[in-house]
């Protein structure tokens, strides 16, 4: 690894990825409507080569996939979570094989709501990331610090530990193909986004850690998203940062009138 900071060492441009995390919103009928409206709105903005993934609840994935395929929309199907076993007696869980069969391309793994509300551990995040990759899908592995950790000056340490544990055992090609999402917990759903500079500082450290552990090729290829209160008014400034390759959007992804300009701002 050279002594350069972040993408100074990796000047190539990675394809931006903007992901809409719908969380527990929208019935399958509402989802169909939202995807059609989004596609109409996206046709009216300049989106360059920005890739867009939509992550509805499990119950809407099939409907969303059907609309995307039938209307040949330029959108990727995503999921918000997955279990790491292929099949078996795991009541209530959904397997990566099932998602892959639905043409799911991106799977969010280790979102802070999964970690905090459902007690998901770094070990589970790691098993899930591996299961997603083993099924030819791409994990979006989420990391981020709490308010208290930031105040205590522990942000980088927390993020480094989550990366090390979450990506343990992956090879450089797998890490390079993955997406990492930096989502400070205090910014999620609060309307309080990280400043572009703060987000860049952490994303640059993420890329440095990837380079140190998995090599320069992985660090140059891995895409890093920022998430936490991304809105049409702040998206462009966040995307202007060197090590930020995309956005993971919660609340503002539910309304195509907000989400389309965010996609355009990521260009």
57 forms part of the interface with ligand PGA (CB under 6 A) = no
Cβ distance to ligand PGA smaller for residue 110 or 228: 228
Residue selected from 250, 263, 264, 266 as contacting ligand PGA according to rule CB under 6 A = 250
Residues marked as catalytic: 111, 183
Residue selected from 158, 249, 264, 266 as contacting ligand PGA according to rule CB under 6 A = 249
CA distances from 224 to 86, 200, 244 (A): 28, 10, 6
CA atoms of 160 and 62, how far apart (whole Å): 36
147 forms part of the interface with ligand PGA (CB under 6 A) = no
Q: Which segment (37-45, 124-132, 152-160, 221-229) binds ligand PGA by CB under 6 A?
A: 221-229
Residue selected from 184, 246, 251, 256 as contacting ligand PGA according to rule CB under 6 A = 251
Look at residues 257, 253, 203 and name the one whose alpha carbon lies nearest to residue 26.
253
Q: Residue 230: which residues within 8 A CB-CB, separation 6 or more?
A: 193, 238, 247, 248, 249, 252, 262
CB count within 10 Å of CB 25 equals 16
Tell me the two tokens of residue 224.
Answer: 């890093």
Q: How far is the CB of 55 from ligand PGA (least distance, A)?
A: 9
238 forms part of the interface with ligand PGA (CB under 6 A) = no
229 forms part of the interface with ligand PGA (CB under 6 A) = yes
Cβ distance to ligand PGA smaller for residue 21 or 63: 21
Q: First CA to last CA across the chain, in angstroms? A: 29
Residue 237 φ then ψ, to 5°: -65, -35
Using CB under 6 A, list all residues that contact ligand PGA: 21, 183, 188-189, 227-230, 248-252
């Amino acid at each position: 690894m050279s002594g350069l900071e972040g993408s100074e060492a990796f000047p190539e441009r990675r394809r931006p990825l903007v992901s809409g995390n719908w969380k527990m919103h929208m019935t399958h009928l509402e989802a169909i409507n939202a995807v059609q409206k989004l596609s109409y709105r996206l046709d009216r903005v300049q989106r360059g080569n920005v890739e867009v993934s939509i992550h509805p609840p499990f119950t809407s994935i099939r409907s969303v996939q059907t609309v995307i395929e039938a209307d040949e929309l330029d959108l990727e199907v995503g999921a918000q979570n997955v279990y790491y076993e292929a099949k078996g007696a795991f009541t209530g869980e959904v397997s990566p094989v099932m998602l892959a069969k639905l043409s799911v391309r991106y799977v969010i793994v280790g979102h802070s709501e999964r970690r905090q509300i459902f007690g998901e551990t770094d070990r589970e995040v790691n098993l899930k990331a591996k299961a997603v990759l083993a099924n030819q899908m791409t994990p979006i592995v989420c990391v981020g610090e709490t308010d208290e950790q930031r105040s205590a000056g522990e942000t980088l340490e927390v993020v480094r530990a989550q990366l090390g544990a979450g990506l343990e055992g992956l090879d450089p090609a797998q890490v390079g193909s993955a997406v990492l999402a930096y989502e400070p917990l205090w910014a999620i759903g609060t309307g309080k986004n990280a400043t572009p500079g703060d987000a860049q500082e952490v994303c640059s450290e993420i890329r440095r850690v990837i380079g140190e552990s998995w090599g320069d090729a992985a660090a140059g290829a891995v895409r890093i998203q920022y998430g936490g209160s991304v809105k049409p008014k702040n998206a462009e400034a966040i995307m202007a940062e060197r090590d930020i390759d995309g956005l993971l959007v919660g609340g503002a992804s539910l309304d195509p009138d907000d989400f389309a300009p965010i996609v355009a701002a990521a260009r």
